[in-house]
Amino acid sequence: MTTSSRRLRIPVTVLIVALILALAAPSLGFSALLLLQSDNINHRQMANRAAQGVDLIGDRLDREFRNLSTNLALLASSGWIESEEYDRLHARATEALAGTDTYLLAFDADINQVLNTRVPYGTPLPTAGDPESVRHAIETGNLAVSNVYMGHVAKEPVFSLTMPIISNEARVRAIMLTRNAATLGQIFKDDLPPQGWRYAILDGAGAFVVGDRPPGVSADLITRLCSSDGPGLHQITRGKLRYSAATETLPQWGWRACVWTSSDQAGARLSQRWRAFMIVVLVVVSVTVLAGIALGQMLAGAIRRAATVGRALDGDGDVPERHSIVREVDDVLGSLTRQARRRKAYEDELKLIQRETSHRAKNQLQIGASLVRLSARSATSVEQLRDDISARLSALGRSLETMSESPSGEVALSAFITAQLAPFASDQPDRLKLDGEEAFITPATAQSLGLSLHELATNAAKYGAWSAPGGRVSIAWSRVDGGLRIVWTETGGPTPQAAPKRTGFGSSLIETMIERNLGGSVERAYQPTGLVCTITLPAAARGLL
């Protein structure tokens, strides 16, 4: 062979490795671009989440102050201040503010307390805990919001909202609603910031009032973090942690809402990120090459196995079972083996059908011979013998027809009983009731049981429940000790006489089919309401699935 006639032949492993590297290169380049943009994207996302969170907290705090202002206006307009009915004002405010952790105070022109709903009316009261706010409200005629201070009556940190009373005649010159600072956090339960963020509330002096402060984080740190005002995120670093916060000052009240979070990535530098990225690139390339080699070897082996199957098929020998995880190769293997396996399966199926046909034919001949012998024993005329044999062979035929409709040969008991008794109850379905958990029976069981049910139905039509207009038959079955119990119950027919002294053909046939053929048992009870026949089949006979 000359050089010009040689064709280039590249192993499939080399082609797969080259393909995987070509596919991975754009992804690695795109990852590098994302790394360059990750800081800006992350900062913008954090700023958006923080802005949403601080808006929620600020709105809730603003509503709380507005609620306090509304309550003050309602109490100021009650008329009890001008009429100096302070006892009634005390009682009404105590009732209205019950359960809110909010209390009403009233002050005269000298900033002395006139009433305080924290204590009963008439209790001696100390001086104002925050006289500056009261004095500011009286002098300016405007609402005054306090910072957090120690309440003289509450004995704990509180804050308040003071409203002046514009009247030169009333003794009370200002009223105040005060609330414990520690309980302010209850109003933020439904307006928490986004996941991963915490909130804080600062008063007009910038002091920490309430917030979600985990152990190890001081109030001073949160105060400093949330003290910066203006749009965007504010960040400070403590050790290995970077803290980020967004704040909003409520213009009318002077208090500040803040949301903040912490991150342990403050010490990470861009060079460290690139170093980590290069390590990832080396790992990805190494894994890609190894995976390509492994995949190429696997594909090459699958192709070689396909060639082996083809040679075996050409040699007209046994085709081995071969598979591949590569769909196309597996399809080739399946096409090569399917024809030979189909031919062998066809031959095996023909042999099985022949054996099954022979076996069933023998069974039918034996059953037919038994029917003829038993019918001849009880027949009184040729016509009766003819009719009995015809009816019983028809019942046997229905059993065979029901079994032939099932691909596996197993037949559902409820469908089998319905088919057997259709000639007796098809015109009046309500005269037959079936009850029991679904079970399946084998062909041999179906033949014997079908003849037994036919005999019971014949007797019911002649002498039992179905011989009367309102008579009914109920058939119930259940699993018992691995076997199957079938109870035939007749009601609504003629009252049965005592059990017959001699065994008739029907009884003999049932005993032969159930006891001898299937190894079961039959019990009859002639109740006042009708015949009750109990058939018990062992597990080996019923073939339950």
Given a contact cutoff of 8 angstroms between Cβ atoms, the answer to whether 399 and 364 are in contact is: no
Given a contact cutoff of 8 angstroms between Cβ atoms, the answer to whether 134 and 163 are in contact is: no
Rounded to whole angstroms, how far apart are CA atoms 434 and 535?
15
Give the mean pLDDT per block of 10 residues along the chain (545 residues): 58 75 72 66 77 87 92 88 90 91 92 93 90 92 92 92 85 92 84 79 90 84 82 80 87 90 55 70 79 75 66 57 67 67 55 47 50 52 61 55 54 85 75 89 80 85 86 92 91 79 68 84 90 88 48
Given a contact cutoff of 8 angstroms between Cβ atoms, the answer to whether 146 and 162 are in contact is: yes
Residues 6+ apart with CB under 8 A from 237: 243, 266
Given a contact cutoff of 8 angstroms between Cβ atoms, the answer to whether 213 and 221 are in contact is: no
Beta strands at 172-180 and 157-164: parallel, antiparallel or unpaired = antiparallel
pLDDT value of residue 15: 74
Given a contact cutoff of 8 angstroms between Cβ atoms, the answer to whether 485 and 507 are in contact is: no
pLDDT value of residue 544: 44
Closest CA to 302 of 340, 273, 336: 336
Rounded to whole angstroms, how far apart are CA atoms 487 and 420?
16
DSSP state of 268: -
For 20, the enclosing helix (H) or strand (E) is helix 12-76
Domains of the chain and any CATH numbers: 13-64+192-263 (3.30.450), 78-185 (3.30.450.20), 379-542 (3.30.565.10)
Question: What residues pair up with 476 in beta bridges, in sequence order?
Answer: 435, 487
pLDDT value of residue 387: 59
pLDDT value of residue 90: 93
The torsion angle over the Cα atoms of residues 514, 518, 519 and 521, rounded to 10 degrees, is: -30
Beta strands at 521-527 and 530-537: parallel, antiparallel or unpaired = antiparallel
Is 177 strand, coil or helix? strand
pLDDT value of residue 294: 78
Give the phi and the psi of residue 175 in degrees, each rounded to 5.
Answer: -120, 150
Decide: residue 505, CB within 10 A, 0-12 exposed, 13-18 middle, 19+ buried. Answer: middle
pLDDT value of residue 500: 65
Given a contact cutoff of 8 angstroms between Cβ atoms, the answer to whether 45 and 197 are in contact is: no
**Using alpha carbons only, how large is the chain's radius of gyration in Å?**
48
Residues 6+ apart with CB under 8 A from 297: 13
Q: Considering the entire predicted model, what is its pTM? A: 0.46
Residues 6+ apart with CB under 8 A from 176: 72, 104, 105, 106, 107, 133, 134, 160, 161, 162, 163
Total count of residues recorded for the chain: 545
Alpha-carbon distance values, 258 to 6, 49, 74, 122, 477 (Å): 77, 12, 31, 41, 74
Residue 313 amino acid letter: L
Rounded to whole angstroms, how far apart are CA atoms 363 and 400?
12
Number of helices (H) and strands (E), helices first, in the chain?
A: 11, 18
Given a contact cutoff of 8 angstroms between Cβ atoms, the answer to whether 419 and 402 are in contact is: yes
Residues 6+ apart with CB under 8 A from 248: 54, 55, 57, 58, 256, 257, 258
525: Cα separation from own chain's centroid? 53
Read off the tokens for 190: 């439904």
